[in-house]
Amino acid sequence: MADAQVLTPEARAVHRRHAEGAFDLAGRIPRIVLEARRVAMATVHGAHGRRRAGAGENFWQFRPFTSGEPAARIDWRRSARDDRAFVREREWEAAHTIALWIDLSASMGFQSKLAMAPKIDRALVIGLALSDMLVRAGERVGLLGGPPASASREIIEKLAQTIARIHRDGFDDAPPPVSLPALSEAVIIGDLLAPADEIVRAIEAISARGARGHVLVVADPVEEAFPYSGHAEIVDLEMGAKLRVGDAAEFRARYLKRLADHRDRIRDACRRRGWSFAVHRTDRPASEPLIGLVGRIAEGRKG
């Protein structure tokens, strides 16, 4: 399925303004960063509780000493304040690596009047907010096929700068087919309207060594419902090609089936590899898919 949007003539100029504004990333990144921080802070409580006792470096808690443990584990300073011995437990720090990919293709600039934001804004806010939450939980986050993952508390700013540079220098509309280690996870966010073969090939390559992954499709509500009527024109935002489809209402059934078949292929590839797959509409809050992603990543850790 090609990257395309259906536009009536009167909607074309509005869409062009939206797309041009959405892809001035250099000017938009500061606002997106602030929004990502706001969403992350509003979502973080109770969403990703990974902390547990184990071999690590950070102090976690004191607990009473139990018979049979080595006496060297007793924290004598803490024990001196009470009538019993206490052990200083450390936090488990088997940090995983999360590789993030966000679709920056031209179709991501689309925003209908029903949507709360362009798809590119929503994808960036979700991806950056997720990165911040994961780093706070002890994970390392990087970009798929990019520089090494980082556990920096400034991860939102670091990733945003790299994404802006990628957008300026050129990018692909499908995830790169790079293999990840078994303890890594990929998070793919975008409208994923690139040819299904390319997306499936990327999923197979990423998970070849056992890495898990999560796909989040970001869609404008009109892309899901196709509410157009009258004569319409399909515009390929990647190549500039145009196709007049006649009456949009009659074309709707073919469009929706094509979209469903396209997503089914991606969903099936995810299922084969044990990945999660979800769809988010931009007329819904960003916190909803964010909570879902955090929950699925945490559930995978338990598994």
16: domain CATH number is 3.40.50
Residues 218-225: what's their mean pLDDT? 93
Residue of 37, 116, 39 lying closest to 287 (CA atoms): 39
Last residue of a domain, one of 70, 90, 110: 90
Same domain, 205 and 177: yes
Same domain, 68 and 18: no
So what's the pLDDT on residue 15? 47
Same domain, 27 and 72: no
Same domain, 226 and 82: no
Instruction: Evaluate if pTM is beyond 0.85.
Output: no
Residues 222-239: what's their mean pLDDT? 72
Same domain, 64 and 14: no
Count of CB atoms within 10 A of residue 18's CB? Answer: 19
Are 36 and 132 within 8 A, CB to CB? yes
Number of domains in the chain: 2
pLDDT, tens only, 31-84: 999 999 999 998 875 444 444 444 444 444 667 877 666 777 788 888 888 878
Same domain, 64 and 162: no
Residue of 89, 76, 137 lying closest to 294 (CA atoms): 137
Same domain, 179 and 66: no
The mean pLDDT value of the chain amounts to 81
Same domain, 191 and 135: yes
Same domain, 204 and 64: no
CA pair distance 65, 85, nearest whole angstrom: 5
Q: Which residue has the higher pLDDT, 139 or 228?
A: 139
Q: Which residue has the higher pLDDT, 54 or 257?
A: 257
Element (H or E) spanning 21, and its range?
Answer: helix 9-22
Query: What confidence category does residue 254 fall into, taking pLDDT thresholds of 50, 70 and 90?
Result: confident
| Beta strand pairing call for 86-90 and 212-219 | unpaired
Q: Which residue has the higher pLDDT, 146 or 57?
A: 146
Q: The domain containing residue 285 runs over which residues?
A: 4-51+94-302
Same domain, 145 and 17: yes
Same domain, 84 and 99: no
Same domain, 80 and 109: no
